[in-house]
Amino acid sequence: MRILIIDDEPAMHESYAQSFRPRDAGAGAGLDAMAAELFGDDAADDAGALRPECATFDLTHSMQGLDGVAAVEAALAAGTPYSVAFIDVRMPPGIDGKETARRIRALDPDINLVIVTGYSDFSPLEISRAAGPADKIFYIAKPFEVEEVVQTATALCHRWASDRELAIAREAMAGHVRLLEEQKLELAANESRAVHMANHDSLTDAPNRLAFLRALHGSVRSTERFAMAMLDLDRFKLVNDSFGHLAGDELIRVVCERLHQAAPRGTFIARLGGDEFAALFPATGEDEASMICERLLKACATTFSVFGHSVQGGASVGVVVVEPGSTGDPIDVMRRADLALNEAKRSGRGVVRAFDESMDESIRFRRRIESGLSNAIAGGELSLVYQPIVARETLEITGFEALLRWHSPEYGMISPAMFIPIAEESNLIHELGDWVLETALAAVKAWPGQYVSVNFSPRQFRRQNFVGQVIERVQRSGVSPSRVQIEITETAIFDDAERAADTLYRLRQMGFRIALDDFGTGYSSLYNIRKFALDCLKIDRSFIDGMGRERESMAIVQSIIHLGRALGMEVVAEGVETQAQVETLRVAGCSHLQGYHLARPMPQDDADTLATARFIGTSDEAATGTAA
């Protein structure tokens, strides 16, 4: 315990030294006994607690106040501060005890000061004002008792130590509080970021679908007329396929900026996902809403520079105007805007279409068709017809294309062009495709050697374990894979070329024939020809129809035929409807023909008969190649 003695009398320093000299345990016991006799057992216990039996005091003696101040400063610098300072009030010729106490307190706020005096030079209040706080200043009168000085020093040393421990604990607690405050601020910042991320698109930082639905819900509940528009970029997939997904992302960001710039004040624009955006804005009516949408459309219909590439933008927009109180369902508003957008796409893209009730009726009809198709599969309303594929010169039937028909008791004959896309949009296409394949496999078993060509939609082709399911059904039917031709379009294989290439290779390895349907209408025909395992190219009927009127169509047909022959593939011309087309295709070298002029699609019984005959028309006509 470090104690500082400041007194100008040498005798006083000797008295302090004697007072703080260590004593034996017996003397301490005697004092305790005396305290017990005079004040009771509790007083003796308290005295024993305050008096450290083995404690030693480290005394520093200073003869003047300035010396004491210097000692305090040095102790603080060394990291060994004093617990208590005993200060005499009168120390001529130097500074007095009051000034000494003031200077020491200024240096060390934690030290306990004991003012030792035999006079009343300064009142306690004066000294407290100079060297406070009051709870750290104590007074002892001269002459003092040894026990009084020792007990005071011991108690104040313990208090000083406790105060330091308490200060350390408080500092640690303050540190914890600061840490908690920092964590609280960080948590608040993280929460704010999380809320922002949950409500904003990561690519454009525009509001996302969740935020848009919340805003739309508020608009639906308001008493103001408003419009909701849905915008979809045209040919966006082509940008991704041509320049990569990074370029596609950059185009999305640029378009989003343009939309915000073009939109009137108060418009809420969000990215719903992919290349689809939505907008909410006040509108007086359909004319104003359409005009605003035209402005948004114009912002997209420009040439963008994306990573050094020039990209021609474009979009389609559907809009619906909502009257106050007309609906309470924000999802229904989105559905109507989406119907208008689909109508804009069907109208040729790059246009704005406002919702009207006829669009909703069309969707309801599509839903009835979907529901009816589901029942048609189980109710025997479906059938297959077969159209022959014949050799160019002899008109020998080499195969039949299986074509699906649906006769609905409610709607009559329904065109495949209507119900196939509906099935494609739902899981019905898989159930429908399975039925078609099994029915076609049953038919081909009755034919003497021809193959059956079955069309597969893009969604079927991307089905999980497509190859395994096809092989299982063919093996179960007992038909050789070489008598089954799988017809696909470029659309079916364009989305994922690597996976498609692997799928076609595996099918061809098992012996299946592979035909590329509607050839010449896709995006990358030559690339697909080179990359995929193919047996046959089927020229789209639009080129056959245009041969007699357009030089371009004739040139395309001749190019496809020469390409197929060079690669060792069959080339089938679809949609042959005149004898002139037959002769032209023969001269051009087309290997196979298919169309109404040769034979219309027919029921299985007629197909069985024709397959047995093997030729179109009479045998003499077939031999001379003049049959129609």
- pLDDT tens for residues 183-220? 888 888 888 888 888 889 889 999 999 999 999 999 99
User: Which range, 11-25, 325-339, 449-463, has the best average confidence (pLDDT)?
Assistant: 449-463
- Best CA proximity match to 116, nearest among 93, 136, 86, 149: 86
**Which structure tokens are listed for 466?**
């497509």
Residue 555 carries which side chain, given as an amino acid letter? Answer: A
Task: Tell whether the model's pLDDT for residue 627 goes beyond 70.
Answer: no
Residues forming CATH 3.30.70.270 domain(s) in the chain: 209-355
62-87: pLDDT as tens digits: 999 999 999 999 999 999 999 999 99
Task: Tell whether the model's pLDDT for residue 382 goes beyond 60.
Answer: yes
Burial degree of 424 (CB within 10 A; 0-12, 13-18, 19+):
middle
441-457: pLDDT as tens digits: 999 999 999 999 999 98
- Best CA proximity match to 590, nearest among 614, 576, 570, 575: 570
From residue 486, give the alpha-carbon distance in Å to each of 398, 463, 507, 514, 538: 15, 15, 9, 5, 12
Torsion angle defined by CA atoms of residues 486, 492, 496 and 497, in that order, rounded to the nearest 10 degrees = 60
Q: Which residues contact 170 (CB under 8 A, 6 or more apart)?
A: none
Q: Is-contact 62 71, C-beta < 8 A?
A: yes
Q: What are phi and psi of 206, to 5 degrees?
A: -80, 160
* Strand, helix or coil for residue 24: coil
Handedness of CA 236, 242, 248, 254 (dihedral sign): negative
531-580: pLDDT as tens digits: 777 899 999 888 898 887 888 888 889 988 998 888 889 999 999 999 99
Position 525 confidence tier, pLDDT thresholds 50, 70, 90: low
Give the least confident one: 105-109, 191-195, 427-431: 191-195
Residue 65 carries which side chain, given as an amino acid letter? Answer: G
Task: Tell whether the model's pLDDT for residue 464 goes beyond 90.
Answer: no
Position 628 confidence tier, pLDDT thresholds 50, 70, 90: very low
Tell me how crowded residue 460 is: count the other CB atoms within 10 A of its CB: 22
Q: What is the mean pLDDT of the chain?
A: 86
Task: Tell whether the model's pLDDT for residue 248 goes beyond 50.
Answer: yes
- Best CA proximity match to 341, nearest among 331, 329, 330, 351: 351
Give the separation between CA 25 and CA 54, rounded to whole angstroms: 9
Q: State the chain's maximal CA–CA distance in angstroms.
A: 153
CATH of domain 209-355: 3.30.70.270
Output the pTM of the full model. Answer: 0.50
Query: What's the CATH architecture for 380-624?
Result: Alpha-Beta Barrel (3.20)
Position 588 confidence tier, pLDDT thresholds 50, 70, 90: very high
Give the separation between CA 65 and CA 86, rounded to whole angstroms: 11
Task: Tell whether the model's pLDDT for residue 622 goes beyond 60.
Answer: no
Position 618 confidence tier, pLDDT thresholds 50, 70, 90: very low
Residues forming CATH 3.20.20.450 domain(s) in the chain: 380-624
E strand segments, 29-111: 58-62, 84-88
Stated as kind and residue range, the H or E segment containing 100 is: helix 97-107
Stated as kind and residue range, the H or E segment containing 233 is: strand 226-233
First to last CA, the chain: 125
Query: What's the CATH architecture for 2-20+57-167?
Result: 3-Layer(aba) Sandwich (3.40)
- Best CA proximity match to 520, nearest among 508, 531, 532, 529: 529
Residues forming CATH 3.40.50.2300 domain(s) in the chain: 2-20+57-167
Percent of all residues in the chain with a pLDDT value above 90, rounded to a whole number: 47
Q: Is-contact 138 115, C-beta < 8 A?
A: yes
From residue 444, give the alpha-carbon distance in Å to each of 432, 518, 570, 610, 622: 19, 24, 20, 12, 23
